[in-house]
C-alpha cells in the first residue's frame, strides 16, 4: 500500500523557496518524494529517526548534502514533510 504525502501550507512555502534557490535539485527532490510515497524504507532514502529536540521526527536524504525532515505516521500510512534544506538547516 503506498503512503500518502500530506503537504502543509508551511512546508509548501519552504519547499518552493528551497527549489527556487536550488533549481538543480528539482529532479532529485521529486524522485525522493516519489520513492518516499512508494516505500519510505527504501535504502537509498537513508530514513532514520532523529533524537534530542527533534525526537519523533524522521529524516530522509535527497542527496549527501540535503535532507527532508518529516513526521512518519506508519500506522496510518501518512507522511507529513516538515522541512527541506541542508543538513545544518533542517537539524
pLDDT of residue 74: 60
Total domain count, the chain:
1
Question: Per-residue confidence at 87, pLDDT binned at 50, 70, 90?
Answer: confident
- Going from the C-alpha of 27 to that of each of 16, 59, 63, the distances in angstroms are 14, 19, 11
Task: Give 45-71 pLDDT, tens digit per residue.
Answer: 999 999 998 888 999 999 989 999 988
Q: Residue 10 is part of a domain; what is its CATH number?
A: 3.30.2310.20
For 31, residues 6+ apart whose C-beta sits below 8 A from its C-beta are none
pTM score, whole prediction:
0.87
Percent of the chain surpassing pLDDT 70 = 98
Q: Mean of the pLDDT values across residues 77-82?
A: 88
**Mean pLDDT of the residues in the chain:** 90
Structural domain boundaries, residue 36: 4-90
Which phi and psi angles does 69 have, rounded to 5°? -95, 150
Amino acid at each position: 500500500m503506498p503512503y500518502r504525502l500530506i503537504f502543509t501550507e508551511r512546508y509548501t512555502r519552504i519547499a518552493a523557496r528551497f527549489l527556487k534557490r536550488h533549481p538543480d535539485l528539482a529532479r532529485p527532490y521529486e524522485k525522493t518524494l516519489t520513492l518516499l510515497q512508494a516505500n519510505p524504507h527504501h535504502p537509498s532514502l537513508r530514513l532514520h529517526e532523529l533524537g534530542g529536540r527533534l525526537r519523533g521526527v524522521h529524516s530522509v536524504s535527497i542527496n549527501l548534502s540535503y535532507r527532508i525532515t518529516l513526521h512518519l505516521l506508519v500506522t496510518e500510512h501518512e507522511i507529513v514533510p516538515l522541512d527541506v534544506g541542508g543538513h545544518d538547516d533542517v537539524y
